[in-house]
Amino acid sequence: MSDTLDRLRRLQGLRRQKKSAEPELPPPPVAAGATRALLHGDVIENAAGACYVVTRHYGLADARGPQPLGALLERDPDALAGHFPHFGLHRHLDFTQAAFIDTETTGLGGGAGIYAFMVGVGTFEADRAADGDWAFVVRQFFMRNPAEEGALLVALADLLGRYAMTVTFNGRAFDLPLLRTRFRYNAWAPDLDFEAAALLDEDRPHLDLLMPARRLWRRRLQSCRLINLEQHILGLTRSGDDVPGHLIPQIYVDYMRTGNAADINRVFYHNHEDIVTMVGLAEALTRVLGSAPEELREQVLDGDDWAALAIAFEKRGELAEAEHAYGHALETLTAPASRADVYRRLGALQKRRQRWDDAVATWQQWLSSVPDGDPTPYVELAKYCEWQSKDYAQAAMWTGWALHTVQTLPPRQRSAALIAELEHRLARVKGKIGD
């Protein structure tokens, strides 16, 4: 109890110190007509006041991309624990204990002057309206004006207190720090349950989908923005009701000034789509990153995804799995630069594991199938012949080919230092032939 009181005092202290930093937003309450024009929802009241909530239920069989929503319940958050130990997922959790969170805010940065005027939360629940069948429920807590923030946070804390982990997209850097700040500013609010809001703390289990998405898909897609992943990974396209994220802060300000709910309803759609999309992405990420290569052979993975998966296995020290995944990548990749990168990584891995026969085969396949002017396979074959097989004539041959490759590159790509190194190597190897 004393810990809770201490925490409240600290939060109240922060409130007193930073009160002047609160943003100056239009204060007038929204008219009743504007509330009626919002998407169908409910006005909920608590000791801190009132706010607006829009709730939607989805059956587990409802599709979100190639898989139904319920497919995520067959996956284990722990599948990502080895790849991202700082997520805190080693706790025997499942996705029925997860709160999927996305915020819409009055600014695109962080700081004390930014409100989260809409907080969407998606959860898997036993649906009372469907005889206890499980459903995915999306609740969007909305403050119609800044005076409703305390009530929104009380309602949010009451919901979060039922769950053990959070799932976000870039929430580690944005959504959760912002919500923690807003809870500190509202320490005055009656019935605000700080223990329930502790689910947002940095030491609690939190799956931020942006990091695994970048690890798996950035090689292929370059951009891992949520809307890009939604289109290229889940095969979904949003309707014209969506609104670009950078317009949302101004839309909210305009709503408070005019009471016109048309555009704010588009923000509800945007927030809702973000939350449901996270379910599909979480399923895809846990399925791929949580499986061994032999378990993934039945699935159709892009060559760049296989390469990214191999790199992830290698980072975890699962070297045999990494080698298999690199092999699968080479079966499907066609771009010379991508193939050369995989050959480079695979050869280096086999060399590190002292799998010399396989490494030699990899380097030979590289130089024969990817005419990219890279001297690396020649250099590696020369090193192998000099130091492992002791075949100095072959070492001299491969070094000569490496030197020729570098010397025939365009002038801007030639490295004088590498040429000097290869000339020195060639002289040394020739000296060994004469011994």
pLDDT above 90 (res 235): yes
Q: Per the structure block, which two tokens stand in for 155?
A: 């309602």
What percent of the chain shows pLDDT beyond 90? 80
Give the mean pLDDT of the chain.
90
Span of 10-14, 29-33, 44-48, 387-391 with lowest mean pLDDT: 10-14
Per-residue pLDDT reduced to its tens digit, 358-396: 999 999 999 999 988 899 999 999 999 999 999 999 999
Amino acid at the residue 330:
L
**CATH assignment of the domain containing 215:** 3.30.420.10
Nearest-angstrom CA–CA distance, 56 and 138:
5
Is the pLDDT score of 133 beyond 70?
A: yes
The answer to the question of residue 366 being in a domain is no
Which segments of 333-415 does DSSP mark as H helices, in order? 336-352, 356-369, 376-387, 392-407
Answer whether residue 210 is part of any domain.
yes
Domain check: are 93 and 53 in the same one? yes
Q: Check whether 73 has a pLDDT greater than 70.
A: yes
> What is the C-alpha to C-alpha distance for residues 419 and 80, in angstroms, rounded to an integer?
44
Nearest to 206 by CA among 230, 174, 228, 233: 174
| Residue 22's pLDDT band (cuts 50, 70, 90) | very low
- For residue 132, pLDDT over 70 is answered with no
Across residues 214-242, what is the average pLDDT? 96
For residues 29 and 39, give the distance between their C-alpha atoms in angstroms, rounded to a whole number.
Answer: 18
State residue 12's pLDDT score: 46
CA 104 from centre of chain: 18
Residue 53, domain member (yes or no): yes
Domain boundary among 289, 307, 325: 289
Per-residue confidence at 30, pLDDT binned at 50, 70, 90? low
Cα-to-chain-centroid distance, residue 180: 21
Contacts of 50 (CB under 8 A, 6+ apart): 43, 44, 148, 151
Residue 428 lies in a domain: yes
Same domain? For 56 and 91 the reply is yes
Do residues 46 and 157 share a domain? yes
* Same domain, yes or no: 337 and 409: no
Give the model's pLDDT for residue 435: 65
321 shares its domain with 241:
no
Q: Inform me whether the pLDDT recorded for 238 exceeds 80.
A: yes
Q: Is pLDDT of 295 > 90?
A: no
Same domain, residue pair 342 and 385: no
Q: Are residues 278 and 319 in the same domain?
A: no
Crossing angle, helix 175-185 and helix 2-18, to 10 degrees? 90
Residues 124 and 244 in one domain: yes
State which amino acid sits at residue 309.
Answer: L
The structural domain count of the chain equals 3
> Does residue 267 sit in the same domain as residue 166?
yes
12 with 82, same domain: the answer is yes
Determine, yes or no, domain membership for 396. Answer: yes
Closest Cα partner for 365 from 399, 400, 340, 394? 340
Task: Find the mean pLDDT for residues 325-335.
Answer: 95
Rounded to an integer, the average pLDDT of 201-217 is: 97
Structure tokens at 64: 């979100």
pLDDT digits (tens, 9 = 90+) for 107-120: 987 667 899 999 99
Last residue of a domain, one of 289, 311, 330: 289
Contact 286, 215 (CB under 8 A): no
The predicted model gives 225-251 an average pLDDT of: 96
**β partners of residue 6:** none
Q: Tell me whether residue 432 is in a domain.
A: yes
Last residue of a domain, one of 289, 313, 329: 289
pTM for this prediction: 0.89
Whether residues 280 and 301 fall in one domain: no
| 374-413 b/e (C-beta count within 10 Å ≥ 16 → b) | bbbbbbbbbbbbbeeeeebebbbbbbbbbbebbeeeeeee
In a domain, 359, yes or no: no
Check: CB of residue 171 under 8 Å from CB of residue 101. yes
360 assigned to some structural domain = no
Residues 342 and 312 in one domain: yes
The reported pLDDT for the residue numbered 16 is: 40
- Of 332, 273, 270, which is closest to residue 307 (Cα–Cα)? 332
The residue range of the domain holding 348 is: 292-353
